[in-house]
Every structure is written in C-alpha cells, then in structure tokens.
C-alpha cells in the first residue's frame, strides 16, 4: 500500500512540475511568434490568390437560442461547438462530479456537446466506466449531447483521448504505443475514435511520446485527430519533436490522416466551458452524426466561438474540409464564417500552409482600431466582418504530390489585440 501511495505521489508531482515548466515555455514561445506574426509582411505568391468577399449569411435558431449558420452549399450541414477532453472526480485529481461537469456544460451557451474522458489508471475500475455511461445518458437532450470516453494515460508512451468504445484499456504495464494499437485492432473496437492528446506537454516524456508519431496503417481510420490547442490560451504553435514542423505536420507527414482538435482538458467543473472549442460540421446534434463527422475529419479548432465551414472546389465537385481530394490543374478553397456579434472578435489574417509550410498570408484588416463596441452589422469596407467568404485559388504546380496536404490557419483579434490561438481548419489531403 505504501508503495502504491508513493507511486501516486510521484505521478502527481511530476505532472505538476511538467505543467508549470511547459506552460512557462509555451507562453514565451507564443509571445515570440505573435510578435513575429504582427511584423510579417504579406507573402507574394504568383500561384496563390486570396480574396475576401464580405456578405451576410442566413442564420437559424438551433437549440439554446444560439444562431447557427445555414450554408446553402453544404446540403443542410450545421456547425456544432463542443469539447472532447475533460475530467471529473472519476479521475481522482478532478474536481466536481460527472453530474456537475455535464450540468455546467449543458448550461453553457457555447457548448452543444461535451465529453468526460477520465484517466484510466486504476480509477475507472469497480464499475466506474459503466457508471459514467449511465450518467452521460441522463444529461442528453435535444439541445445538448453528453459524451463519455477515457484518456489512455501512459507514463512513457503518451496520452490518447479515446471515444466510442464500450470498454477502456488500462495503461499499467504498457511500454509503448504498440500496446494501445493492438487493443484498437480488436474487432470489438472497430468504431473507436482516438485523438493524440497534448503532444509535447510533459517535457520528461518527449523522447518517447507516441514514438514520435510512429505510423500504423491498420488503425489510420481510428486515430482521427491531434490537439492543436490545449488549456487557455496555450496552443501548439511551436515546433514539434524534430524542431522544424508543428506537431500536426509531423504527424501528418508520418502518414496519419488527422483533424485539428481544441482541448480544454479541464480538471475542475468550475472551468467549464473554458476558451478552447472544437467545431464539428454535422447533419444534426446526435452521437451518430457527430462521430460520423469526426471520422470524416470535418472539424476546426478554435479558441473563440466561431461558426466556420471550409470546402475545396475541384472542377464542379465540392469536398468538405478534412477530405481526400483528387489532384487537379486548379484548386479553389472556400471558407465561410460567421462570428457572433457579442464576441466582438474579428479576423485579422489567414495563412495557407502547404505540406506544413506557410505559402501565403492575407491580411483581412488592420488591428489598429480598438473600438469594437459599436460595430454595425454592415459589411461595408472598413467595418469588422461579422460573416464572410474567403476564396483561395491555388495552382497545382505549387502543390507537391507527396504527402500532399493543404490547410488554413486563421488569426483573430479582440479589442485591437491579436488572439494568440489561431483557428486550425482540417487539412485537405491530395490523393
């Protein structure tokens, strides 16, 4: 018993120390990157053209009196906002019961879905996982989708958020990601959805974490995302394990097909909803529809409530964000967005990244005007866009075919200041 308590204390102290150092390091890195970003001149590219067309979209009331965008070209799809990574007292170190967490999330005007993903360790034994399922079901309503899952929390191999399974896997005794991957390959886990959780967060684990995104083709359809935002306002803008590319790019170039995920990783129900959001474009607010959209990688990651839908136009065929698209002589990316008026947030610039490298930057407006209190709904030149369409024309010759992917990164501003956590739009993958 004494040995067990000692192990627990070591774990808790290690986590606390790593979080402190990582947070300090990441905030410093963010400040540097933000300074560089605000001083960066618009890149010139003969083969990439970005146009902004201000317009107002029709909106409809959908649950909790929130406005949802009705995208005419998206066949009735809606944007739902939520979180997929949080903890309660079922994770031992969490504060607030599962009931308190789900209730706080349900009452939030910004969350349509919310997942409790408890650390497995030994704390989900004794029927707690089944109990979590039951509690989750009790909070479901027409306007709110509670989700349950677990966080595979390996002390060496890293953490993974796991959803849509009837059982959980303990990480005790596991030495590498291979142990989890073998479990995911079992027929009973055919519907599992898995997310790389906060890569690089624990500095002592970085030499071993995820085996630096070691690829396994047999589970490429199950590992569907990677956290690009974590906590408030920490975001993974800095380089990954290799020191050159972002974590998401390292993982994609290893062979994974991934969507960006925002995580609050809340351990206290009083911090719900927090700032980080994942946006999912789905037909309806149901577990089936949300999980289906996640599996298609139809997501974006953001640190403020925005409704966004991006699509790629190849010839006459339109593909939603996250899609695998055919190569073509020309490619057009269309990004529609709406920002709730009460947010008083605008879009500062958009970046186009091809194979992990920034190829174009388009300034959408200056950030010198700090007076955002009386902005009209009009989208006349010089006003803050509440909604709009960004069209990006790209010529094929500038798109390498291997690994072949394009994604958008959008920066916002509030009260004249650049928002440190950009919006990541799920990549388009070239076949």
Q: What count of residues does the chain have?
A: 431
Burial letters for 205-220: b for 16+ Cβ neighbours within 10 Å, e otherwise?
A: bbebbbbbbeebeebe
Indicate the pLDDT class of residue 374, thresholds 50, 70 and 90: very low
Tell whether the model's pLDDT for residue 371 goes beyond 50. no
Q: CB under 8 Å to 357, separation ≥6 — which residues?
A: none
> With contact defined as beta carbons under 8 Å apart, do 67 and 244 qualify?
no
Indicate the pLDDT class of residue 386, thresholds 50, 70 and 90: low
Highest average pLDDT, of 35-44, 176-185, 195-204, comes from 176-185
Q: Classify residue 426 by burial, with Cβ atoms within 10 Å: 0-12, 13-18, 19+.
A: buried
Query: What is the arithmetic mean of pLDDT over 61-89?
Result: 70
pTM, entire model: 0.85
Indicate the pLDDT class of residue 316, thresholds 50, 70 and 90: confident
Task: State how far the Cα of 79 lies from the Cα of 339, in Å rounded to an integer.
Answer: 12
Among 28-42, 170-184, 197-211, 388-402, the minimum mean pLDDT is found in 28-42
Tell whether the model's pLDDT for residue 93 goes beyond 50. yes
Query: What is the arithmetic mean of pLDDT over 306-333?
Result: 87
Task: State how far the Cα of 170 lies from the Cα of 262, in Å rounded to an integer.
Answer: 24
Indicate the pLDDT class of residue 328, thresholds 50, 70 and 90: confident
Q: CB under 8 Å to 18, separation ≥6 — which residues?
A: 201, 202, 203, 204, 205
pLDDT averaged over the chain?
Answer: 80
Tell whether the model's pLDDT for residue 366 goes beyond 80. no
Q: What is the dihedral of CA 20, 23, 262, 38, to 10 degrees?
A: 170
Tell whether the model's pLDDT for residue 54 goes beyond 60. no
The CATH class of the 25-419 domain is alpha beta
Among 132-136, 390-394, 405-409, the minimum mean pLDDT is found in 390-394
Residue 9 pLDDT: 59
Q: Distance between the two ends of the chain, CA-based, in angstroms?
A: 55
The pair of structure tokens assigned to 386 is: 């509440």
Residue 389 pLDDT: 79
Residue 45 pLDDT: 58
Indicate the pLDDT class of residue 419, thresholds 50, 70 and 90: confident
372, HSE (Cβ side, Cα atoms, 13 Å): 20
- The more confidently predicted of residues 398 and 346 is 346
Express each pLDDT in 109-130 by its tens digit. 889 999 999 998 756 777 888 9
Residue 368 pLDDT: 34
Residue 51 pLDDT: 75
Indicate the pLDDT class of residue 65, thresholds 50, 70 and 90: very low
The residue ranges of every structural domain in the chain are 25-419
Indicate the pLDDT class of residue 169, thresholds 50, 70 and 90: very high
Residue 17 pLDDT: 53
Express each pLDDT in 190-230 by its tens digit. 999 999 999 988 888 888 999 999 999 999 999 999 999 98
- State what percent of residues in the chain have pLDDT above 70: 74
Tell whether the model's pLDDT for residue 30 goes beyond 70. no
Burial letters for 2-15: b for 16+ Cβ neighbours within 10 Å, e otherwise?
A: eeeeeeeeebeeeb
Task: State how far the Cα of 62 lies from the Cα of 66, in Å rounded to an integer.
Answer: 6
Express each pLDDT in 230-271 by its tens digit. 886 666 666 889 988 999 999 999 999 999 999 999 999 999
Instruction: Name the one residue in this structure whose structure tokens are 């896997």.
Output: 169
Tell whether the model's pLDDT for residue 42 goes beyond 70. no
Tell whether the model's pLDDT for residue 56 goes beyond 80. no
CA 175, 178, 183: angle at the middle one, nearest 5?
110
Highest average pLDDT, of 48-57, 62-71, 240-249, comes from 240-249
């Amino acid at each position: 018993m004494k040995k067990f308590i000692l192990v627990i204390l070591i774990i808790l102290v290690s986590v606390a120390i790593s979080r402190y150092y990582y947070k300090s390091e990441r905030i410093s890195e963010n400040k540097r990157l933000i300074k560089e970003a605000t001083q960066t001149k618009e890149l010139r590219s003969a083969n990439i053209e970005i146009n902004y067309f201000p317009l107002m979209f029709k909106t409809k009331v959908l649950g909790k009196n929130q406005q949802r965008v009705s995208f005419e070209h998206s066949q009735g799809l809606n944007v739902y906002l939520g979180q997929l990574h949080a903890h309660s007292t079922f994770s031992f170190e969490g504060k607030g019961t599962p009931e308190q967490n789900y209730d706080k999330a349900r009452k939030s005007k910004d969350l349509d879905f919310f997942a409790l993903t408890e650390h497995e360790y030994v704390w989900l034994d004794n029927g707690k996982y089944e109990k979590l399922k039951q509690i989750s079901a009790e909070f479901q309503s027409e306007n709110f989708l509670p989700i349950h899952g677990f966080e595979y929390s390996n002390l060496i191999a890293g953490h993974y958020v796991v959803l849509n399974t009837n059982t959980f896997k303990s990480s005790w005794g596991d030495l590498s990601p291979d142990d989890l991957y073998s479990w995911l390959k079992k027929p009973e886990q055919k519907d599992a959805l898995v997310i790389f959780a906060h890569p690089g967060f624990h500095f002592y684990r970085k030499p071993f974490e995820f085996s630096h995104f070691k690829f396994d083709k047999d589970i490429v359809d199950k590992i569907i995302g990677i956290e690009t935002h974590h906590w408030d306002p920490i975001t993974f803008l800095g380089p990954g394990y290799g020191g050159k590319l972002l974590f998401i790019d390292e993982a994609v170039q290893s062979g994974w097909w991934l969507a960006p995920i925002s995580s609050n990783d809340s351990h206290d129900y009083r911090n719900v909803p927090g700032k980080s959001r994942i946006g999912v474009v789905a037909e309806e607010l149901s577990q089936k529809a949300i999980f289906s959209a996640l599996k298609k990688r139809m997501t974006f990651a953001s640190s403020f409530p925005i409704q966004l839908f991006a699509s790629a136009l190849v010839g006459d065929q339109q593909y939603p964000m996250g899609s695998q698209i055919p190569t073509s002589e020309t490619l057009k990316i269309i990004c529609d967005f709406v920002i709730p008026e009460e947010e008083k947030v605008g879009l500062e610039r958009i970046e186009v990244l091809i194979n992990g490298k920034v190829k174009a930057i388009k300034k959408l407006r200056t950030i010198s005007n700090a007076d955002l209190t009386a902005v009209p709904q009009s989208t006349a030149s010089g006003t803050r866009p509440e909604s709009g369409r960004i069209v990006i024309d790209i010529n094929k010759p500038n798109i390498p075919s291997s690994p072949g992917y394009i994604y958008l990164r959008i920066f916002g501003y509030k009260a004249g200041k650049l928002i440190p956590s950009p919006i990541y739009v799920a990549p388009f993958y070239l076949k």
